[in-house]
Amino acid sequence: MQDDGFIRSLWASSDVQSLGGSQVGSLSFRSLAQTDRLILSQIHRFSGKFDFVTGIPRSGLMLGTLLALHLNIPFVSLNDLVIGNHRQRMTQRPPLDRSPDRHAAELRGLVVDDSINLGNTTRKVRARLDWLRSEGIGLEYLAVYATASASGLVDHHLETLEQPRVFEWNFLHHAYTQKIAIDLDGILCVDGPREVSNDGGHYESYIANAQLKYKPSVPVGAIVTSRLSRYRGVTEAWLARHGIQYNQLIMLDLETAERRRELMVHAKFKADVYRELDAVLFVESEEWQAREIAQLSERPVCWLQGATIF
């Protein structure tokens, strides 16, 4: 039953989903903290009913492990489950035996994914695991978030959440990334220390060698930065070196950093650009800027560090 190719295909396709013609208007965003609270609010639905949890790569691994820890039951990798090695648990607590709260003859497992839309991944996984029934292993399927039309494709879901939607853990790996405007410093690269935040050789040297922070898996709709446009060449070279793809790089057209500080146009510049873009979300590294961009643009802005939408 070994099929590493099947598991690899799930990893490769995870989160990089088609826009599917969905209306791109009001975007729903869920953070990991919100999702954990959602799981805990409904944990009673699963307590004592399952003997182990497995997760569908990639995001289902994270949420499945979280759920297994909350339920205090073993987590089994999908790869081990596919080959029938269900006792090769990834967690050390507790032994993989039937729950003392149940008297059923078979082992019961819960297969977790973060969300379901068209249901293609769930169908593929069901088809690969269906043979386990003959081994006395019964499986049920949970999508933490489901569209109304897809909720019937799983046994359980925790919240009905329509498209368009993105999550804290996939906003840079989803097709909707092409509809997102994103800050550069503090998001794609580490913010520079204040002593090199001025014009001049030290600053140019810093941004040329800035440390990578987040790397998108798909092209970003627009990178919008308060860096001066005079640094476009070194910025484009840095993005190319790190393999970051984007549709637009929009920079501030002022003569000097001193003039930028004098005008205090960071948030206003980004808000003005955001209003002109066909974007569903702006992702900002600084809280005060995120709040101001949201107020000025009257559109949703994500403060990434706080996983908050303004």
| Dist CA 53 CA 18 (whole Å) | 28
Contact between 222 and 182 under an 8 Å Cβ cutoff? The reply is: yes
- The pLDDT, as a whole number, for residue 10 is 61
- The pLDDT, as a whole number, for residue 266 is 86
Ranges of beta strands (E only) in the chain are 28-30, 52-55, 107-116, 137-146, 156-160, 165-167, 180-182, 220-228, 246-252, 281-284, 301-303, 308-309
151 three-class SS: helix
31 three-class SS: coil
Identity (one letter) of the amino acid at 171?
Answer: F
| Dist CA 44 CA 187 (whole Å) | 38
Which positions ≥6 away from 5 have C-beta within 8 Å? Answer: none
Among 242, 248, 253, residue whose Cα is nearest residue 217: 242
| Dist CA 30 CA 283 (whole Å) | 14
What tokens appear for 163 in the block?
């498209």
pLDDT digits (tens, 9 = 90+) for 88-137: 554 555 555 555 555 556 889 999 999 999 999 999 999 999 999 888 89
Identity (one letter) of the amino acid at 302?
Answer: C
307 three-class SS: coil
CATH 3.30.160.270 correct for 4-165: no
Q: Where are the alpha helices (DSSP H) in 14-144?
A: 32-41, 59-71, 78-82, 120-129
Could you state, in order of their start, the residue ranges of all structural domains in the chain? 4-165, 175-309
Among 271, 219, 229, residue whose Cα is nearest residue 250: 229
Number of helices (H), then strands (E), in the chain = 10, 12
For residue 191, the tally of other CB atoms under 10 A from its CB is: 16
Contact between 229 and 253 under an 8 Å Cβ cutoff? The reply is: yes
Q: Is 144 exposed, middle or buried (0-12, 13-18, 19+ CB in 10 A)?
A: buried
CATH topology assigned to domain 175-309: Rossmann fold (3.40.50)
Q: Which residues in the chain land under pLDDT 50?
A: 1, 15-25, 90
- The pLDDT, as a whole number, for residue 249 is 97
Q: How large is the angle between the packed helices 287-297 and 266-276, nearest 10 degrees?
A: 50
Q: How large is the angle between the packed helices 232-241 and 201-208, nearest 10 degrees?
A: 20
What tokens appear for 22 in the block?
């969905």
| pTM for the structure as a whole | 0.76
Burial readout 230-240 (b: 16 or more C-beta within 10 A, e: otherwise): bbeebbeebbe
175-309 has the same fold as 4-165:
yes
